[in-house]
A and B are shown apart, each in its own frame.
Chain A
């Protein structure tokens, strides 16, 4: 039974599980540094152009941003429940929770698309006809587009990984109980969520402080 989950060169499922999880943690360190470059740049420019960042940060859509934050955090909850359920052999619950995660992730991307449309209608893409004149406002929106764009790519990657779990567990009902991929996928999904939790204050809340 457990042989179905073993991949070469592994001979022991526990060891494989450890390696997959550990490998994912190492990869996540890399991901943190990837966004770290963006956070460093944002911090430097915010220090240089605090007024411009305040004015520009006021223009992002707080409604879309907040709803999407709630959606993504809920999806992390469903992902965590899926893992616990799989380990408790509640396979039906686990699959339902994975599907909920997938649905919430897609919903996040759809809402993000609507938000992008609204941003473009307001002319908030840096370039000719950019409505804000404060120094640094264009820089703020440059970060807005790249940060949310790269994050959306990560959500898409995470969705592909979740979909893989759903398909594999549809083919073989027992699969989730012993698979070593579930935890790695969950770790990745949570990281994508954590990054958003940092982006949310940087892009949506920072422009709305009094002062």
Chain B
């Protein structure tokens, strides 16, 4: 805290209470809340779609929904979860809220563009809702041509339009974050004093700005073919459907890093705080983030090993996919090394971070299986692939998102969440997740294809396990929704710094005032200054943090 709170100064939540003060706000913290409400809604819509899919798959026969409905359900799940939950999840909510706070700024560089970004997201979201009402889409979230352009009967134009518009929301968020990090750092906040979360947002923004426009143009081409009959991907008139796959994965592989880099940033903050340690190898962690973002642009061909691309292309893309595992491994080892000699406590955010660490490692290592051409040919389009990317995106990104949400909940709302419930939910989520997705590795390796409505009976045991796990996972996701909402109405004040954490965001009140800091903060020190360099851990600061 820098000095007493000025009398009569409201926090950002009480600074205006009309609907107008929320819908026309330029406060990055309020915009973060607007995003959080919207993506939470979509998370549960996407979750509902896959719940029906998992129920259908309990029996080998197609006895719950028709095959057409089944195709639409997994497509809706994919489109919503990728573009309307995962892509904006950490950047647009926690990133929006924390980036200015962490660098000691009053707001993002372009507050009105930040608001525009939310409205673009909502415009895209309303297209997606319209797509649901119009009967859905059955192309899969990948919109592969020529099916999407020439044969599908679904509302492809509306769905693609929604994704296109939401893409501009990402681009504007990315531009805003990059400009903010360059121009609004408070005195003393040098580049190599930035918290890893800020670096992660920066690397993510680079990918958003440079990859998203390629997806936008690809969707324009799909729409131009479907709507106007321009034969970009129509083989009968000279088009090449594979060009679509190259353009699509040029975005959609880096998009994986839009989802996982922010998660890495969150986990770096949590692990240092609850181990009371400086981050091991800070500068390597920074270079690793940037390296992942850069190399991530050159690996898209590993989605196309069976497409008939040249053996040399396969070789190069395979090699580059192995390369991207190097900085990822550096990060995992450095988080682990950070724990060494730490004074570790097991609050809910830390449990989520540990869950992230284990699940991301499994997801990453199975990624190496898939980067190996012969194995990839064996498991292409099987549940092995489904399990792999869910370990990264759900086990990794969603765990980190929830960990971050709990960690910064006291800062965002000013309230404590119920610790026992939160630990229970985190542990339940870990077991539910593994029960859902581990059997998918096995059945995928044995040959169970993805996106199939009806399957041979010998796979039933794995599907039953997976669906049972999904039920546990669903319950574990509903728990935080319930207890976090309840916590808003309790009177348990969090205080400015309940975790005794070192980041700048903890030096202001909870919730912060409209302009974040009552006095401009100055940064005299390196980040994660939890103990003297080389010295022992501050043992006295390991309490759950009841009173500051």
Contacts from A to B (Cβ < 8 Å)? 7-9, 15, 18-20, 22-23, 26-27, 29-31, 33-38, 40-41, 44-45, 48-49, 52, 126-127, 135-136, 138-139, 141-142, 145-146, 150
Interchain CA distance A134-B67 in the complex, whole Å: 41
Is there contact, CB below 8 Å, between A9 and B214?
A: no
- Interface members, chain B 454-500 (any A CB < 8 Å): none
Instruction: Give the contacting residue for B210; candidates A33, A44, A49; CB below 8 A.
Output: A33
- Chain B binding surface, main DSSP class: helix
Which A residues touch B109, using CB under 8 A? 9, 19, 23
Looking at A7, A18, A23, the one whose CB has the most chain B CB atoms below 10 A away is: A23
A8-B111, A26-B209, A44-B240 provided; 5 other pairs, C-beta below 8 A? A19-B109, A20-B110, A26-B178, A27-B209, A142-B225
Interchain CA distance A40-B213 in the complex, whole Å: 13
Can you spell out 12 A-B residue pairs with CB atoms less than 8 angstroms apart? A8-B26, A8-B106, A23-B110, A23-B179, A33-B211, A37-B247, A37-B250, A44-B243, A48-B240, A135-B238, A138-B231, A142-B239
Is there contact, CB below 8 Å, between B210 and A30?
A: yes
Looking at A18, A26, A141, A150, the one whose CB has the most chain B CB atoms below 10 A away is: A26
Nearest CB on B from A127, distance (A): 5
Is there contact, CB below 8 Å, between B179 and A22?
A: yes
Interchain CA distance A18-B225 in the complex, whole Å: 41
Interface range on chain B (Cβ under 8 Å from partner) = 35 or more
Contacts from B to A (Cβ < 8 Å)? 26, 100, 105-112, 171, 174-176, 178-179, 182-184, 209-214, 216-218, 220-221, 224-225, 228-232, 237-240, 243, 247, 250, 515
Nearest CB on A from B222, distance (A): 11
Is there contact, CB below 8 Å, between B183 and A36?
A: no
Which B residues touch A34, using CB under 8 A? 213-214, 216-217
Interchain CA distance A146-B218 in the complex, whole Å: 11
Identify the closest chain A residue to B100 (Cβ): A9
Is there contact, CB below 8 Å, between A41 and B183?
A: no
Instruction: Give the contacting residue for A49; candidates B107, B224, B229, B238; CB below 8 A.
Output: B238
Instruction: Give the contacting residue for A127; candidates B182, B229, B247; CB below 8 A.
Output: B229
Question: Top 8 nearest A-B pairs by Cβ distance?
Answer: A34-B213, A37-B217, A142-B230, A9-B106, A23-B179, A9-B107, A19-B183, A33-B213
Nearest CB on A from B245, distance (A): 12
Interchain CA distance A103-B107 in the complex, whole Å: 37
